Structure 1
Amino acid sequence: MASVAALLSVGALRPAPAAAATPPVAAPHATAAVLDLDRPGRTPEVHGTDSAYDTASIVKVDILATLLLQAQDAGRGLTAEERGHAEPMIERSDNTAANALWRQIGQASGLAAANKRLGLSSTTGGPGVKWGLTRTTASDQIRLLRAVFDGGTAAKPGSPVLNAASRAYIRTLMGQVIPEQTWGVSAAGGSGSPRVLKNGWLQRNTSGLWDVNSVGQVTVKGHRYLVAVLSNGSASMSDGVSLVERTARQAVA
């Protein structure tokens, strides 16, 4: 007992330190933007903070729009090889096809030049070959969807940048997405609403959390809505899909 008392007096025996607190995990976050094409006005409603998110595969719509705009400038249509990349890139979200077209459009600099004409002001192309790390906002995605579905742009309202054939081509491919990839903003449409959309999903290497995004057009009670939902921080892809669909339904409602 005397020995124990002596050790305690000089601090040789101390209670074990408390375990360090586990840092809090950021909650999943989502932002939605909605534009009713069948009502006057062309200002989207934004639900949540309109901050920038990584695009994952929704950028493939922007890549295709850029490719088509470059082809228009050259006075030509797409080649068979370009169509052979564009169609699986949108319909099946094929990454190899996206890699090829990302290189062809000039990567981030080519995307930026097209986006300036399309009216996008808050989208930055991913570094190098990493097109999936392009950063964008929900309101910018509505601007891109307007250029595809409505023909208008923020830069020149009523003056389409993409011609009618280019717009129809993108819409057609977005309407032919394989069934297992038709989740997302389509949840906001009625049961008979066409599924015209493009989704993106990406698991982060550092945190293991998921970015899940969806953009497209839905029809509700005879009104055509452009809808963009961007999210991050979900624990699983299925959680992210549920968050995106719930956010889309609430935003359109």
Structure 2
Amino acid sequence: MFWLIRQFNIANSEDDMDVTELEFETPALGDGFTFHVMIRCTPVAGGRRRQGGIWGDVKEERAQAHEVARQVVREVCRRYSAFSPREAEVETSKSILSAFATHSTLRNRWSVQVYVNVSEDVRSLQREAQIRQHKIVSDAEEDALRLRKVQELAEISGGFLSSATGHWITRYAVRLAQHPEEAGDVVAQLLDERQERAERLVKLVNEMADAHQQAGIFELVIASEGALRHALKQLGVDVPPLESDSIFADAEFLP
């Protein structure tokens, strides 16, 4: 029993040494490109052939396995595009398994794994195509982001401008935000402009009253002037005194 175990281990050791790998190029569909193929042939444990008390020649079996595998790979790969290595690999593996199962010498003797990859030429083309595709996607995402930001900025700007149209002091607020160190000058100019606006308004009302005194609406103008001056005082605007020759000089205004 000990002798048999020793012989079995030696046989396994020899089988392990018979594992081989083949790498080669084979034509793809149309013969314009090729596939890069790697075949791994491994002896099946306990499957060594023996005829008439003599062990079969391992080298001869290995050569037969290589030849059958090459033929199957070449035949199958020529039916597939060079850009479809996965499909070619699946079909090649099935075909080799079937060929070995029906071969009188190789049946139950060898295990074969097939790896089909694109050639370097095809890989270079695929790399360039993927780079172009990535650039298209990246550019589209960048454009979409830019448009979203422009839209957000337009909405913010629209709201700002809408609010600015109803407030004459907005330009001072913007100046103050841009140059806070000039707060004193900004406030002084704001107050001066407000005073000038009030004076121009009072003067305009006086001129309108002069123009309409003979039109029978003198009392209405006087009432409007009084209400206007009272409103300006409530807002904290210094209202200039009436001129001595103004038509409002002797009029009584609203409190």
Same fold at TM > 0.5: no
Higher relative contact order (CA closer than 8 Å, sequence separation 6+)? 1
Q: Under TM normalisation by the shorter chain, which class is it?
A: under 0.3
Q: Which has the higher helix share?
A: 2
Higher Cα Rg: structure 1 or 2? 2
Q: Which has the higher strand share?
A: 1
